[in-house]
Chain A
Amino acid sequence: MSIVNDAKQLAQGLVENVVSTAVALAPDSWIPGGVPDPLIAHRHGHVGKPISRVDGALKVSGAAPFAAEIPVDGVVFASLVYSTIARGRIASLDTRQAEAAPGVIAVMTYQNAPRMKSPPAFLSAPKAAGGDDAPVMQDDKVRWNGEPIAVVLAHSQEQADHAKSLVHASYESEAALTDFAEARARGSKTGLFMGHALHDEIGDADAAFGESAVTIDSHFTTPRHNHNAIELHSVTANWTGDKLRLHDASQLVAHTSWSIAQMFGMPEENVVVTSPFVGGGFGGKCLWQHQILAAAAARLVNRPVRLTLSREGVYRMVGGRTLTEQRVALGANAEGALKALIHTGTVAKTARNALPEPFILPARSAYASETMKLDVQTVELDMLSNTFMRAPGESVGTFGLECAMDELAAKLGMDPIELRLRNEPEKDPLSGLPFSSRNLAEAWRSGAERFGWSRRKPTPRATRDGEWLVGVGCATATYPYYRMPGGAARITLSADGHATVEIAAHEMGMGTATAHTQVVADRLGLPLDAVTFLYGDSTMPGVVLAGGSQQTASIGASVTAAHRALVARLIEIAGNDSPLAGLSPDQVGGRDAGLSHLEEPGRHETYASILSRSRRESITVEANAPDPLETMHWSMHSHGAMFCEVRVNTITGEPRVSRFLGSFDCGRILNPKTATSQFRGGIIMGLGLALMEETQFDERNGRIMNPSLAEYHVPVHMDVPDIEVMWTDIPDPHAPMGARGIGEIGITGTGAAIANAIYNATGKRVRDLPITLDKLM
């Protein structure tokens, strides 16, 4: 990321600050969500029912088509060669042997790759999708250990993979900075996140900390992580004339289309990206070099190209979560009221990307501390650009903050839940905005009762079961409500009363199509089988990122806008013969497969009747969602109370989670069945973060040393206990459908709850993740 871009981001941030002040002061009714979504009051429809996934039968029968599985005639297969130095230039690249190998069509390197602009890095423009802005195979420079340096194209994958081993490269190395401690010693700078400096202060926190009656000052480290979606990244690039079609595994099809169009200097509409099913994303299925290389290679050989990364390839060229070093210093009075909250630290990024892991985000709204100092420093390493991974910031930030709160509670001799409730803020501690809906205390109360928290023994090492020490712990989970600009949707209503919604959104397992089929059915007053929800195609309306747990809100607001346009259009074509004549769109709602007056439900006409009377086969409307001003008017966050029981082996130190409960306050739950899976999924990834996950980055040469699902441990069945989840189900009056996103909150707080339970079991505070057995022996 260049200085120019940094400045651009900063300027954009300043404008936003001015706007946000104005929005904060505006009357509620001017703001999206100012008038609660009518669906919130609608309690007897499809929303809130545990409906099985609409695509379930396809998935369990292996018939759901993932990116690598779309048949394309004449497709050729690609295999990549990766650099083995962290920084320097390619001195020689001998491809002759590879080119002569059986089945090989061509070898693409920087010497023959089509000329392209650099990818626009994510957050540098509204539709920028790139993991970073490094040129893609355009020069002889090497920027990280594992950068692709050649693409071998052959008639079969076996041939391409074999020929790849015949490409011979030599390098001129330059001094590379791959050691975090060394980078820190050279100096750091304040992180910039979405245009805002990652630095906040209220009062003089250092002074208040010094004067506090009870203090905790602890340091935490969290390692690099990889998303490790089980589906390998795969793309098929197919040019027809000057149009490019990508069959991709993507959580941002519209962004990808625009970004690739920028690179190749072509109109956005000429790049079509489809992604009907995604085999897990977690932040990792965005735009990296493989889509670009496939598109370039397909142009080079004038054939469709399929590029499926090997598992090693995913580690070499798709970024993961970066490492963090955190300090949490808490000062409180004897009653446990926070006087000072200091959360600072350093993270690594690259010069080419814009994501300093924002681990201070949880502290911004968690507690009512009199003073606060939050700061993220960044250093830049010669490595693969890091990126967002499930709850960037919150996942690792809650580890430091919520472990420190547990330490403070122990020092105060206070129940850790009581300490948290004592510091529950009445309004957003930093912005002063009112909370849209915050029921964390209720989540704690109901969760504690269900978990049996009152049976906890506060003294460590108090419970033993044979070889095992048993302990319990808790932590707060938190994740913001986001809704990004750019949402839009199209609704087509046909004469047989069937509605089809199209939006360039994504299904990576969250249950998007299922939940929104329910929502659309309720909004339009239709049965579920009269609704089709289409997504995963960049030609559809909307710029919708499946990230930031914002997709549900974005789709919800987009469909609301399109629905409003649809109602207006229907009233217009219904004409004076309709029972709806003379009503405004605000006075009617969807009901019984048609529209009806909200106050006189008898004034009703079916969609089929309206359309047939106006002699239309169908009508189509499209509308944009309003800008997400609600996030500047209210402080909008989801929360959870996380409870954990662990067992730690006294002989071997092996830690095992034996019980987990998450009690959530995330607004209205649209589908309890799929929501349960989302919450549990986050918790299980949090279990991995706590106990086993680490991307081994060799600081001597910047090489990732465990690019394998055998050596990078994610939790297996045997690691996962029965996980109970529950929720307040209190709608957020200012969010579409009353719902806040739920995809990421499960991973937050989990690491701390496990670490705190381990302390309760063993008396050991482990502040360095992952908590492996050697740290507990």
Chain B
Amino acid sequence: MITINGTGVPLPDDLRVTLLDLLRDGLNLSGTKKGCNQGACGACTVLVDGERVISCLALAVQYEGRSIVTIEGLGTAGSLHPLQQAFIDHDGFQCGYCTPGQICSAVGMMDEIRRGVPSHVTEDLASTTLTLSRDEARERMSGNLCRCGAHNGIIDAIFDARQEAAE
């Protein structure tokens, strides 16, 4: 069994099925998107036990016993997660296709920041207390491509939602 958004789901019979295809084709949870199936775009990002991963290179069978949260598990159109609302407020998307991946990725990123995980632009590796600068957010979100060019709005939304969480 895999737990998906709190519900137990049996493993697929075909071992080749990825977590992404299990979600999209097996469970009709099509909020998780397929943009390349090459591990190169981040559109398929989901949270596994709170950590962001790309589901297109994740064989579902490897995730037995793990807890997966997808965009559908973060919030629904009638009850949005604060970050989802911030994406709307800051126009952090255009076509909306990379958006669920961006949002899941940003949720995972916030946790990494709290944990003190360094990034390529972190100057002081010795310090485990991180400040989320715009460059830190940009670097950490670089695994999520957006072709419409909503990058500024995405970063704005992340800062806005963080602000809200802090208040």
Q: Does B84 lie at the interface of the complex (its beta carbon under 8 Å from any beta carbon of A)? A: yes
Q: Does A461 lie at the interface of the complex (its beta carbon under 8 Å from any beta carbon of B)? A: no
CA distance A66 to B75 in the complex (A): 19
List B128-157 residues whose CB lies under 8 Å from chain A.
134-135, 137-139, 141-155
- Once A277-B96, A717-B154 are accepted as A-B contacts, the answer to whether A231 and B35 lie under 8 Å apart by CB is yes
Q: A232, B152: Cβ atoms under 8 Å? A: no
Q: B89, A52: Cβ atoms under 8 Å? A: yes
Q: Closest CB-CB distance, A632 to chain B, in whole Å?
A: 32
- B84: chain A residues at CB < 8 Å are 57, 60-61
- Once A709-B145, A717-B141, A717-B142 are accepted as A-B contacts, the answer to whether A62 and B93 lie under 8 Å apart by CB is no
Q: Closest CB-CB distance, B69 to chain A, in whole Å?
A: 12
Q: Does B34 lie at the interface of the complex (its beta carbon under 8 Å from any beta carbon of A)? A: yes
Nearest A residue to B31 via CB reads A62
Q: Closest CB-CB distance, A615 to chain B, in whole Å?
A: 37
- From B72, B88, B137, B155, A52 is in contact (CB under 8 Å) with B88
- From B31, B33, B37, A311 is in contact (CB under 8 Å) with B37
Q: B96, A311: Cβ atoms under 8 Å? A: no
Q: B91, A53: Cβ atoms under 8 Å? A: yes
Q: B91, A717: Cβ atoms under 8 Å? A: no
Q: Closest CB-CB distance, B165 to chain A, in whole Å?
A: 17
- A717: chain B residues at CB < 8 Å are 137-139, 141-142, 144, 146, 151, 154-155
Q: Closest CB-CB distance, B166 to chain A, in whole Å?
A: 21
CA distance A55 to B93 in the complex (A): 11
Nearest A residue to B17 via CB reads A158
Q: B142, A716: Cβ atoms under 8 Å? A: yes
- A718: chain B residues at CB < 8 Å are 121, 135, 138-139, 142
Q: Closest CB-CB distance, A596 to chain B, in whole Å?
A: 34
Q: Does B63 lie at the interface of the complex (its beta carbon under 8 Å from any beta carbon of A)? A: no
The dominant DSSP class at the A interface is loop
- From B36, B71, B91, B97, A673 is in contact (CB under 8 Å) with B91
Q: B96, A68: Cβ atoms under 8 Å? A: no
- Once A230-B35, A717-B155 are accepted as A-B contacts, the answer to whether A59 and B14 lie under 8 Å apart by CB is no
- A231: chain B residues at CB < 8 Å are 33, 35, 95, 97
Q: B95, A62: Cβ atoms under 8 Å? A: no
Q: A716, B152: Cβ atoms under 8 Å? A: no
- Once A61-B84, A158-B14 are accepted as A-B contacts, the answer to whether A722 and B34 lie under 8 Å apart by CB is no
Q: B21, A157: Cβ atoms under 8 Å? A: yes
Nearest B residue to A69 via CB reads B30
Q: A66, B77: Cβ atoms under 8 Å? A: no
Q: A71, B28: Cβ atoms under 8 Å? A: yes
Stretch touching chain B among A38-46, A396-404, A435-443, A504-512: A504-512
Q: Does A331 lie at the interface of the complex (its beta carbon under 8 Å from any beta carbon of B)? A: no
Q: Closest CB-CB distance, A233 to chain B, in whole Å?
A: 11
Q: B80, A57: Cβ atoms under 8 Å? A: yes
- From A157, A277, A508, B25 is in contact (CB under 8 Å) with A157
B30-48 vs A, Cβ < 8 Å mask (1 yes, 0 no): 1111111111110100000
Nearest A residue to B16 via CB reads A158
Interface-central residue, A64, A159, A282, A682, by most chain B CB under 10 Å: A64
Q: Does A684 lie at the interface of the complex (its beta carbon under 8 Å from any beta carbon of B)? A: yes
Q: B91, A677: Cβ atoms under 8 Å? A: yes
Q: Closest CB-CB distance, B88 to chain A, in whole Å?
A: 4
CA distance A683 to B29 in the complex (A): 33
- A311: chain B residues at CB < 8 Å are 35-38, 40
Nearest B residue to A687 via CB reads B149
Q: Does A432 lie at the interface of the complex (its beta carbon under 8 Å from any beta carbon of B)? A: no
Q: Does A156 lie at the interface of the complex (its beta carbon under 8 Å from any beta carbon of B)? A: yes
CA distance A17 to B12 in the complex (A): 63
The dominant DSSP class at the B interface is loop
Nearest A residue to B150 via CB reads A677
A404-426 vs B, Cβ < 8 Å mask (1 yes, 0 no): 00000000000000000000000
Nearest B residue to A162 via CB reads B16
Q: Does A280 lie at the interface of the complex (its beta carbon under 8 Å from any beta carbon of B)? A: yes
B56-72 vs A, Cβ < 8 Å mask (1 yes, 0 no): 00000000000000111
- Once A69-B30, A717-B155 are accepted as A-B contacts, the answer to whether A681 and B149 lie under 8 Å apart by CB is yes
Q: Does B55 lie at the interface of the complex (its beta carbon under 8 Å from any beta carbon of A)? A: no
Interface-central residue, B80, B99, B103, B141, by most chain A CB under 10 Å: B99
Q: How many A residues are at the interface, by size bracket?
A: 35 or more
A-B contact count (CB 8 A): 200
- A680: chain B residues at CB < 8 Å are 149-153
B1-24 vs A, Cβ < 8 Å mask (1 yes, 0 no): 000000000000010110001001
Nearest B residue to A707 via CB reads B38
Q: A684, B151: Cβ atoms under 8 Å? A: yes
Q: B36, A57: Cβ atoms under 8 Å? A: no
Q: Closest CB-CB distance, A161 to chain B, in whole Å?
A: 8
Q: Does B53 lie at the interface of the complex (its beta carbon under 8 Å from any beta carbon of A)? A: no
CA distance A665 to B140 in the complex (A): 35
Q: A509, B95: Cβ atoms under 8 Å? A: yes
Q: Does A582 lie at the interface of the complex (its beta carbon under 8 Å from any beta carbon of B)? A: no
Q: B33, A677: Cβ atoms under 8 Å? A: no
Q: A681, B94: Cβ atoms under 8 Å? A: yes
- B108: chain A residues at CB < 8 Å are none
- A228: chain B residues at CB < 8 Å are 147
Q: B39, A710: Cβ atoms under 8 Å? A: yes
Q: A677, B153: Cβ atoms under 8 Å? A: yes
Nearest A residue to B154 via CB reads A717
Q: A57, B95: Cβ atoms under 8 Å? A: no
CA distance A62 to B81 in the complex (A): 12
- A540: chain B residues at CB < 8 Å are none
Q: A676, B97: Cβ atoms under 8 Å? A: no
Nearest A residue to B34 via CB reads A232
- A56: chain B residues at CB < 8 Å are 87-88, 93
Q: A62, B150: Cβ atoms under 8 Å? A: no
Q: Does A278 lie at the interface of the complex (its beta carbon under 8 Å from any beta carbon of B)? A: yes
Q: Closest CB-CB distance, B37 to chain A, in whole Å?
A: 6
Q: B95, A156: Cβ atoms under 8 Å? A: no
Q: Does B76 lie at the interface of the complex (its beta carbon under 8 Å from any beta carbon of A)? A: yes
- Once A230-B43, A714-B145 are accepted as A-B contacts, the answer to whether A62 and B100 lie under 8 Å apart by CB is yes
- A101: chain B residues at CB < 8 Å are none
Q: B37, A279: Cβ atoms under 8 Å? A: no
Q: A682, B149: Cβ atoms under 8 Å? A: yes
CA distance A714 to B71 in the complex (A): 25
CA distance A68 to B103 in the complex (A): 21
Q: A720, B100: Cβ atoms under 8 Å? A: no
Q: Closest CB-CB distance, A748 to chain B, in whole Å?
A: 14
Q: Does A678 lie at the interface of the complex (its beta carbon under 8 Å from any beta carbon of B)? A: yes
- From A53, A229, A678, B147 is in contact (CB under 8 Å) with A229
Q: Does B98 lie at the interface of the complex (its beta carbon under 8 Å from any beta carbon of A)? A: yes
Q: Does A58 lie at the interface of the complex (its beta carbon under 8 Å from any beta carbon of B)? A: yes
- From B96, B143, B155, A279 is in contact (CB under 8 Å) with B96
CA distance A660 to B111 in the complex (A): 31
CA distance A227 to B33 in the complex (A): 18
- Once A62-B30, A228-B147, A717-B154 are accepted as A-B contacts, the answer to whether A278 and B95 lie under 8 Å apart by CB is yes
Q: B149, A685: Cβ atoms under 8 Å? A: yes
- A722: chain B residues at CB < 8 Å are 134, 152
Q: B88, A277: Cβ atoms under 8 Å? A: no
CA distance A678 to B150 in the complex (A): 9
Q: Closest CB-CB distance, B9 to chain A, in whole Å?
A: 17
CA distance A720 to B70 in the complex (A): 27
CA distance A716 to B141 in the complex (A): 8
Q: B97, A279: Cβ atoms under 8 Å? A: yes
Q: Closest CB-CB distance, B115 to chain A, in whole Å?
A: 20
Interface-central residue, B75, B91, B139, B142, by most chain A CB under 10 Å: B91
Q: Closest CB-CB distance, A696 to chain B, in whole Å?
A: 15
Query: What are 5 A-B contacts with C-beta separation under 8 Å?
Result: A53-B91, A61-B100, A62-B100, A66-B33, A158-B21
Q: Identify 7 new A-B residue pairs, CB closer than 8 A, beyond the known A52-B88, A61-B77.
A: A55-B96, A60-B80, A61-B76, A227-B147, A280-B148, A311-B37, A718-B135
Query: Which residue numbers of A lie inside 8 Å of B, CB to CB?
Result: 52-53, 55-66, 68-69, 71, 156-159, 162, 227-232, 277-282, 308, 310-311, 508-511, 673-674, 676-678, 680-685, 708-710, 714-718, 720, 722-723
Q: For the complex of A and B, list the 9 residue pairs with the smallest distance between their C-beta atoms, beginning with the closest.
A: A62-B31, A59-B96, A279-B97, A509-B94, A681-B149, A509-B95, A684-B149, A69-B30, A62-B71
